[in-house]
Amino acid sequence: MGVNLAVAVAAVAGLVSHQIFRKHEPTIRGFFAHVLLVNLVVAFGGRILSHGHQHAGPALYAWNLNLGAYLGSLVLVVYRLFFHPLQRYPGPWLCKITRFVASWHVITQDSHRWMMKLHEKYGDVVRVSPNELSYINVSVVESIHGAKAGKLARGPFYAGDPNRPADSMLSTRDLVEHRWRRKGWERGFGTVQLREFEPRVVRHLDTLVRQFQAMAICDSTGSGSNSNSNSGLVDMTAWAEYFAYDVMSDLAFSEDFGMLEQGRPSRYIGSLHGATRVLTIAAQTPWIRPLMNYILLLDPRAKQCGLDFARISKETLDRRQAKAQILAKGEAKADMFAYISAPGEGPRALTQAELTADAALLIAAGAVSTALAITFIFYYLCQDRGKYERLQAEIDGCWDGKTALEVSQLATHAAPYLEGCINEALRLWPPAPNGMQRRTPAEGIMIGDAFVPPETQISVHTMAIQRDGRWFSRPDEFLPERWIESEREGALGGEGNSENKEENENENKKFNHHPRAFIPFTIGQFACLGKTLAYQELKLFMAKVVRNFDFEFAPGFDAKAFERDVKFKGTLLIGPMMLKLKERS
């Protein structure tokens, strides 16, 4: 009886499931409804077949229940492997069945490397989860993220923390809502605003230089100017963070955390780092979200960090709103928040909860990535003295070190090598290395020459495309020269997949690079709003610091281990980078 029933139910369930799911992946609710349906069929069938065996009742029902759940899952597995609309896309079979594999790599914090390996093995498109595709071909970047991707909303990854009182501009998944909220933000990032903000960035750099001078070993004597036995040693990871967070809190809210002055991190950084791991895992795995509160009970530290982060963001907003009167009268300098919170053309005013979410986003989005980029620039420059000296010579030629420093002195034509160094660090280690998840619309979409069904998650994997030898020759090497047109001339044939004449010419350059495969800030409607500000900060930082100091790895610092230990937690996560600094005479 049991085997016959199992076969009959599996066949019926298979047919029904195929009809229900044939166009797209089931939602979690859909899956449970499906298991329930199979259960009903099993229970009903079991009841008929058990007629006359009254005593077997409860045991038989339990058996039916198990069988129903088992068959329901089995049918889903078979469906995902053989009948799913994405079944023809390559990928590990376990990833086709369950999202848990991808989630596991987020838990172990190595998802960026895992994704790169998947692309190496399976090629341009990989089915990384039952309902998710990752791409690395340059020809689809525009369709997924660029001008042609207007209908692609952000994917469920962005739904994030179920406990959050409101969405920030970044976590809003509604296209219309995102568009009008982003307009408010854009006002704070205009050319005029950035010019006004510039002296404030330089002021923080002056504090940093003073602190480094106090730690530096005097160049002329070679002896320490500081009695501390650690004199001359700095942790660039930490100081880059102090700089980036102080700048962002100042530009965003007209106050700074005082990290550069005090030479130690504020609680804000600790709470942000502590809170993001669980949030990233939850973002990756939608079914975990309802369980978030229970998971946090197992990790009280993460829970406390989350609460601290929310509290500090709220306090910052409260202080800023208390100052609003003064700012309105023009007695204090405007900041980004003045623009974001000003009533715009949107259909309604932002709620207090939305403003708090945006306040947290403003500092976190602005500071983390900039700090990472600074550290990686030093990571590569300290491995090659020739590159360090070339950059130093270029900066010496742009700025005398005495007059006020302005970013206009470091424009691309004047300091191309500096820009090349920044681009290479962002190419090799994009702070947000994994793809920016998008969801296909209800009618599905063409990506390249293939139709991708409705409600599928898709993205271009940033780190994998930026390290692909077809788009960047010698892809794992730090070569700032590849961004300087005159130095890209040369004999080496490229390996690029050319699509037109311009790209054929590109292939014959010595350092082949494909501008459309360089997407550290992503592109299109969700592109980074702070890109220009980020270049401004990075250029000013490098000019001030490299003009005044020489750096090398501290004795005993293991550069290979530093790189090997880079992890992913929403953004990259790196360890301390100890450098020895020396003031230039």
SS (H, E, C) 46-57: HHHHCCCCHHHH
Is the four-CA dihedral 316, 320, 322, 323 of positive or negative sign? positive
Q: Which of 528, 563, 573, 582 binds ligand HEM (CB under 6 A)?
A: 528
**Structural contact between residues 9 and 67, judged by C-beta atoms closer than 8 angstroms:** yes
Instruction: Please tell me whether residue 182 binds ligand HEM under the rule CB under 6 A.
Output: yes
Total of chain residues touching ligand HEM, rule CB under 6 A: 23
Residue nearest to ligand HEM (CB): 530
C-alpha separations of 508 from 40, 468, 479, 501, 525 in Å: 66, 17, 17, 11, 33
Query: In sequence order, which residues have a C-beta less than 8 Å from that of residue 94 and are 6 or more positions away?
Result: 101
* Residue reference for tokens 């692609």: 152
Whole-angstrom Cα distance, residue 535 to residue 198? 12
Q: How far is the CB of 428 from ligand HEM (least distance, A)?
A: 12
Query: In sequence order, which residues have a C-beta less than 8 Å from that of residue 228 and are 6 or more positions away?
Result: 215
Q: Which of 238, 283, 312, 529 binds ligand HEM (CB under 6 A)?
A: 529
Instruction: Please tell me whether residue 169 binds ligand HEM under the rule CB under 6 A.
Output: yes
Query: In sequence order, which residues have a C-beta less than 8 Å from that of residue 71 and are 6 or more positions away?
Result: 6, 9, 10, 13, 38, 42
Of the two residues 131 and 249, which places its CB atom closer to ligand HEM in the complex? Answer: 249
Whole-angstrom Cα distance, residue 175 to residue 154? 8
Instruction: Please tell me whether residue 41 binds ligand HEM under the rule CB under 6 A.
Output: no
Of the two residues 63 and 339, which places its CB atom closer to ligand HEM in the complex? Answer: 339
DSSP H helix total and E strand total for the chain: 23, 12
Element (H, E) at 129: strand 125-129
Of the two residues 306 and 530, which places its CB atom closer to ligand HEM in the complex? Answer: 530
**Structural contact between residues 78 and 14, judged by C-beta atoms closer than 8 angstroms:** yes
Element (H, E) at 111: helix 111-122
Instruction: Please tell me whether residue 466 binds ligand HEM under the rule CB under 6 A.
Output: no
Please give the residues from 426 up to 455 whose contact with ligand HEM meets the rule CB under 6 A.
Answer: 426, 431-432, 436
Encoding tokens for residue 162?
Answer: 């179920």
Q: How far is the CB of 183 from ligand HEM (least distance, A)?
A: 10
Q: How far is the CB of 267 from ligand HEM (least distance, A)?
A: 20
Q: Which residue in 176, 187, 252 sits closest to 525, CA to CA?
A: 176
Instruction: Please tell me whether residue 407 binds ligand HEM under the rule CB under 6 A.
Output: no
Instruction: Please tell me whether residue 106 binds ligand HEM under the rule CB under 6 A.
Output: no
Of the two residues 17 and 466, which places its CB atom closer to ligand HEM in the complex? Answer: 466
Query: Binding residue per annotation — 421?
Result: no
Q: How far is the CB of 152 from ligand HEM (least distance, A)?
A: 11
Q: Binding pattern to ligand HEM, positions 358-397, x when CB under 6 A?
A: ----x--xx--xx--x------------------------
Please give the residues from 483 up to 522 whose contact with ligand HEM meets the rule CB under 6 A.
Answer: 520-522
Whole-angstrom Cα distance, residue 274 to residue 450? 41
Instruction: Please tell me whether residue 526 binds ligand HEM under the rule CB under 6 A.
Output: yes
The amino acid that residue 244 corresponds to is A
Of the two residues 212 and 429, which places its CB atom closer to ligand HEM in the complex? Answer: 429
Q: How far is the CB of 470 from ligand HEM (least distance, A)?
A: 22
Q: Which of 534, 542, 554, 574 binds ligand HEM (CB under 6 A)?
A: 534
CB atoms within 10 A of CB 291: 12
Instruction: Please tell me whether residue 43 binds ligand HEM under the rule CB under 6 A.
Output: no
Question: Annotated binding residues, as ranges?
Answer: 528
Question: Annotated binding residues for heme, as ranges?
Answer: 528
Q: Which residues bind ligand HEM (CB under 6 A)?
A: 169-170, 182, 185, 362, 365-366, 369-370, 373, 426, 431-432, 436, 520-522, 526, 528-530, 533-534
